[in-house]
């Protein structure tokens, strides 16, 4: 086991990965409050997981685990009756204010259908490989490549409509 992993306290872990987990949750829910709840759930799951004696071999393994749990927790949340049967409490502009990325590209990404938005987010914002994304989303690498290609085409069209300069 890497000493760096052993010495990483819960507060250091939360400080290091909160933004990443929150961005995934927000990308999934497009709601600040739901994303905050999911982020808390992910870190609670991490605490339970490590208290059960589970360890991470390396920092990349820990990061991948957190991303996968964030995606799965977000998926579970949006499938609940509560999430399906309520209106969003916040406008898209207000939600995006809490995010660091405020460019036209970011807004265009957030308008993509979810099945394209999540792979794009993982690939460009979290800088994961196609193989890592496939593992997290439980898809084939070919399916991930296909969704990334389609999402890029959709983004190109959206950004051309907005007269975005490439």
pLDDT tens per residue, range 11-51: 999 999 999 999 999 988 888 889 999 999 999 999 999 99
Whole-model pTM?
0.63
- Do the Cβ atoms of 114 and 86 come closer than 8 Å? no
Say how many CA atoms lie within 13 Å of 113 toward its Cβ: 8
Q: Tell me which range, 40-54, 68-82, 109-123, is most confidently predicted by mean pLDDT.
A: 40-54
More confident residue, 84 or 157: 157
Say how many CA atoms lie within 13 Å of 146 toward its Cβ: 6
What distance in Å separates the CA atoms of residue 68 and residue 21, rounded to the nearest whole number? Answer: 10
């Amino acid at each position: 086991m890497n000493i760096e992993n052993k010495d990483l306290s819960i507060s250091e872990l939360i400080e290091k990965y909160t933004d990443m987990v929150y961005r995934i949750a927000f990308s999934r829910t497009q709601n600040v409050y739901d994303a905050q709840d999911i982020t808390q759930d992910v870190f609670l799951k991490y605490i339970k997981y490590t208290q059960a004696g589970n360890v991470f071999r390396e920092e990349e393994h820990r990061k991948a685990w957190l991303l996968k749990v964030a995606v799965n927790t977000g998926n579970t949340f949006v499938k609940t009756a509560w999430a399906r049967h309520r209106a969003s409490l916040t406008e898209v502009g207000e939600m995006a204010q809490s995010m660091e990325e405020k460019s036209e590209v970011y807004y265009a990404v957030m308008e993509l259908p979810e099945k394209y938005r999540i792979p794009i987010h993982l690939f460009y914002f979290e800088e994961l490989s196609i193989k890592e994304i496939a593992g997290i989303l439980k898809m084939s690498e070919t399916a991930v490549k296909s969704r990334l290609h389609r999402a890029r085409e959709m983004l190109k069209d959206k950004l051309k409509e907005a007269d975005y300069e490439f």
